[in-house]
Chain A
Amino acid sequence: MGYDMKEITMRDAIREALWEEMERDPNVFLIGEDIGTLGNIFGITTNFIKKFGKERVRDTPLSESAIIGCAIGAAMTGMRPVAEIMYMDFMGCCFDTICNQAAKIRFMSGGKVSVPMVIRTNCGAGFQAAAQHSQSWEAIFMHVPGIKIAIPSTPYDAKGLLKTAIRGDDPVLFLEHKMLYFTKGFIPDEEYLIPFGKADVKREGKDVTIVATLAVIPKAIRAADILAKEGIDAEVIDPRTLVPLDKQTIINSVKKTGRVVIVTEENKRGASSAEIASIIAEEAWNWLKAPIKRIGAPNTPVPFSPPLENYYIPNEEKIINAVKEILST
């Protein structure tokens, strides 16, 4: 591409985005639990307090409603807060401030006020952190009008999407899958932004489309590599944002391959994959050569014990089996 590239972890890509945006815009500030002195439980904001001070890197008491509420009030009055909810599971504690307040204020004011804020949180299973520290709730928030949702799967996407989120004028839920924090990827040294509503084809293929999100993306790519050895050419699509959703890229791919497997880590019932499947059914029905296949977690809370958790989380094997199944129909 002609750019100088560097290899970096997802965690550090998120760090860089926050750091650069805070340097660029004095109205950007951080608010959340254990983000200042501790620098976030995964080290995302280590040393931010030294650089930007505690006025802009605000450690709060354990008060999720107040974190989000403060971010809303500040966002309505000229600031650009980036709030952190330590685990997505704790968003239950601030569901009202997010879904009844942040998401609706622009609309309810007749479009007179913006709420430019970002809520960062980590989601997903894989750490044996059990039912209250492992969930994937993207579909819940996808259902509520007024919240944009970013779901990066690579360091490159994370940095570019987070910058766009911070500069945008709407509330954004920015999801970081905890199993991806220490995965690596290349990013350019130069500044770049990634627009919302633009899916990325992570691997091109012609036989089958695999739409996946977050930590399922690397698994889908590995599954595709294994399938390739058997002569099956899979295309892997990452929507990168669920709201807005890039329907066109998905539909174009399905029109090309005629077969689609949609995989997310959410509980399968009512998952974002269901929304994507229905869009495909509505808009690309005539091109489908086989039924749409969805993979998700069982409809249970996330279990603790490793064999249970392994069973719960979608993996390469399940993806491969699903692809083979629809290829044989």
Chain B
Amino acid sequence: MEITVEDLLDKYKTMVKIRRFEEKVSELFAKGKIPGFLHLSIGQEAVPAGMRNVVKKGDYLISTHRAHGHMIAWGLDLSKMFAELFGKETGYNRGRGGSMHICDPNSGALFASAIVGAGTVIATGSGLSAKLRKTDQVTICFMGDGATEEGTFHEGLNLAAIWKLPVVFVVENNMYAISMCVKNAMLCEKISDRAKAYGMPGITVDGNDVLAVHKAFKDAVKRARDGGGPTLIECLTYRHHGHWEGDPDYTAEVYRKREEVQEWLKRDPIKIFEIKLKEMGVLNQQIIEKIEKEIQVEIEEAVKYAERSPLPDPEKIIEDVFSTTDGV
């Protein structure tokens, strides 16, 4: 697979950026500075990073409650993301959404729904729209393994398949839907096997190998753009933290064996990529430090921006229900 040095470094940087962003978020949450529910994707960074430089301007993104990584990889600004997490008026959703719903429709990042499975049918719709409008826009739809257990998943994939819609369904299989292990939730060997039922290609890749993910994205996006219809990509990965910040499983064994967690920590996607890039002669300690420094500065400034930003005006909540305030 041909991939430029810039692209390789861009992917690495994206992964580190997602990691440091979420570490900061975790820290601020523990200090009580961020309200609400938080679902972090630490450990899963290779999946969104694999999407980098595959999608283009005009494409769409639909995501879930665990979307920080997707949004950062899509190019969202950390300042407005932090502002949203803090519930500020300057946040992406003007404080209406919070962590679970950060999105940026202006850049095609249409929506992040916390109703598991809801994204698949909405992505089918943005795919349909691109087809009706005869554009070459592709929709990327992220979800977790648990989403594939919902009826909406099956309805959405079937429709996208029979209408050959330009959608790429990406399952981040981190093996658990809260405490439900995917092995107990389905008897198929792989989630990608489910694609067969809808007559669409399904592929399973190592979700901690950013280049494997990248290749899968590239093929699926090309296929979608060329009118070949949807693809289901399953990325095998693992979340290092609990399901939500505060999940008892993070500090004590509740539903994940500690040996299992340890095994996956050893397979940290950033570490794996770092070693590979060093072997390729693309990365060295000096470049790593430079990247880390840049990201640290970006995060510090973003947090400051969020802290300084004003809170929303409560009287104005009625403004966002309809296109006008009539009838609210």
User: Do A38 and B87 have beta carbons less than 8 Å apart?
Assistant: no
* Cβ-based interface call for B69 (8 A): no
Interface 1/0s, chain B 295-328, versus A by CB < 8 A? 0000000000000000110110110110000001
Q: Are A62 and B98 interface neighbours, CB within 8 A?
A: no
The residue in chain B whose Cβ has the minimal distance to the Cβ of A297 is B317
Complex Cα distance, B37 from A133, in Å, reads: 10
- The answer to whether the Cβ of A61 comes within 8 Å of any Cβ in the partner chain is yes
Task: Decide yes or no whether A101 CB sits under 8 A from chain B.
Answer: no
Contacts A61-B149, A63-B149, A303-B317 given; does A129 touch B179 at CB 8 Å: no
Are A130 and B36 in contact, with the CB atoms below 8 A? yes
| A141 in the interface (beta carbon within 8 A) | no
Interface residue count for A (Cβ, 8 Å)? 37
Alpha-carbon distance A300/B116, docked complex (angstroms): 22
Tally A-B pairs: CB < 8 A: 130
Interface string of A53-94 (1 = CB under 8 A from B): 000000111111100000000000000000000000110110
- A64, B117: Cα distance in complex, Å: 11
CA distance A41 to B152 in the complex (A): 24
| Min CB–CB distance A288 → chain B (angstroms) | 29
Instruction: Tell me the dominant secondary structure on chain B's binding face.
Output: loop
Contacts of B249 in A (CB 8 A): 38
Contacting chain B: which of A8-16, A155-163, A307-315, A317-325? A307-315
Is A308 touching B35 in the complex (CB atoms < 8 A)? no
Residue from A62, A301, A303, A304 in contact with B177 in the complex, judged by beta carbons closer than 8 Å: A62
CB of B114 closer than 8 Å to a CB of A: yes
**Cβ contacts under 8 Å, A252 to chain B:** none
Separation of A64 and B146 alpha carbons in the complex (Å): 12
Closest to A130 in B: B98
Residue of A nearest to B151 (CB): A65
With known contacts A128-B36, A133-B37, A308–B95 Cβ distance under 8 A:
yes
Whether A305 touches B311, Cβ cut-off 8 Å, given contacts A38-B255, A298-B318, is yes
Measured between beta carbons, the chain B residues less than 8 angstroms from A93 are 115, 117, 150-152
Closest Cβ neighbor of B147 among chain A residues: A62
Find B255's partner among A37, A60, A63 (CB 8 Å cutoff): A37
> Which of the segments B19-27, B129-137, B180-188, B192-200 contacts the partner chain?
B180-188
**A304 with B98: in contact, given A61-B185, A90-B115, A130-B36 (CB under 8 Å)?**
yes
Interface positions, chain B 99-121, Cβ under 8 Å from A, are 100-101, 113-117
CB-defined contacts of B54 to chain A, threshold 8 Å: none
**Nearest chain A residue, comparing its CB with the CB of B316:** A308
Q: Does A182 contact B (CB under 8 A)?
A: no
Contact A132-B177, Cβ < 8 Å, known A301-B321, A304-B36: no
A312 to B312, CA, bound (A): 13
Closest to B184 in A: A59
* CB pair B37 A127 closer than 8 Å: yes
Residues A300 and B328 in contact in the complex (CB < 8 Å), given A59-B184, A130-B98, A308-B317: yes
Q: Which of A34, A63, A92, A305 contacts B96 (CB 8 A)?
A: A305
Which residue on B lies nearest to A35, using beta carbons?
B179
B93: which A residues are within 8 A, CB to CB? 304
A27 interfacial by beta-carbon distance below 8 Å = no
CA of A312 to CA of B180, assembled, Å: 34
Is A278 part of the binding interface, using a Cβ–Cβ cutoff of 8 Å? no
Which B-chain residue is minimally distant from A94 (CB atoms)?
Answer: B151
Identify the closest chain A residue to B37 (Cβ).
Answer: A129
Report yes or no: A128 in contact with B96, Cβ–Cβ below 8 A: no
**Is B97 engaged at the interface, CB distance under 8 Å to the other chain?**
yes
Please indicate the chain A residues that have their CB under 8 angstroms from the CB of B146 in the complex. Answer: 61-62
| Contact assessment for B254 and A308 in the assembled complex, using a CB-CB cutoff below 8 Å | no
Q: How far is the CB of A297 from chain B (nearest CB, A)?
A: 10
- Determine whether the beta carbon of B254 is less than 8 Å from that of A304: no
Chain B residues whose C-beta falls within 8 Å of the C-beta of A301 in the assembled complex:
96, 321
Cβ of B178 < 8 Å from any Cβ of A?
A: yes
B180–A299 touching, CB < 8 Å: no
Q: Which residue of A lies closest to B113 (CB)?
A: A132
**Does A307 lie within 8 Å of B311, measured CB to CB?**
yes
How far does the Cβ of B97 sit from chain A's closest Cβ, in whole Å?
A: 6
Distance in Å from the Cβ of B311 to the closest Cβ of chain A? 5
Residues of A within 8 A of B177 (CB): 33, 61-62
Q: Does B88 contact A (CB under 8 A)?
A: yes
Interface residues of A in 268-326 (CB under 8 A from B): 298-301, 303-308, 310-312
Nearest-Cβ distance from residue A41 to partner chain B, whole angstroms: 7
The closest CB in chain A to the CB of B87 belongs to A305
Which of A33, A131, A298, A307 touches B87 (beta carbons < 8 Å)?
Answer: A307
A305 to B35, CA, bound (A): 8
B95 and A305 within 8 A (CB): yes
Chain A residues lying within 8 Å of B116, measured Cβ to Cβ, are: 62
Q: Are B96 and A62 in contact (CB under 8 A)?
A: no
Contact digits for A245-282, partner B, Cβ 8 Å, 1 yes 0 no: 00000000000000000000000000000000000000
Select from chain A the residue with minimum beta-carbon distance to B321: A300
In the bound complex, residues from chain B placing their C-beta under 8 Å from that of A62 are 116-117, 146-147, 149-150, 177, 180, 185
CB distance from B113 to the nearest CB of A (A): 7
- Chain A to chain B: the 10 pairs with minimum beta-carbon distance, closest first: A305-B87, A305-B95, A311-B314, A304-B98, A61-B149, A38-B179, A128-B36, A61-B185, A128-B35, A62-B149
Residues of B bordering A, CB below 8 Å: 35-37, 87-88, 93, 95-98, 100-101, 113-117, 146-147, 149-152, 177-180, 184-186, 249, 254-255, 311-312, 314-315, 317-318, 320-321, 328
Besides A298-B318, A304-B97, A306-B35, 15 other A-B contacts (C-beta < 8 A): A33-B178, A34-B179, A60-B180, A64-B150, A133-B37, A298-B317, A299-B318, A300-B321, A303-B312, A303-B317, A304-B96, A305-B35, A305-B88, A311-B317, A312-B314
A-B contact pairs, 16 of them (CB 8 A): A38-B249, A62-B146, A93-B115, A93-B150, A93-B151, A128-B35, A130-B114, A131-B96, A303-B96, A303-B312, A305-B87, A305-B311, A305-B312, A308-B312, A311-B314, A312-B317
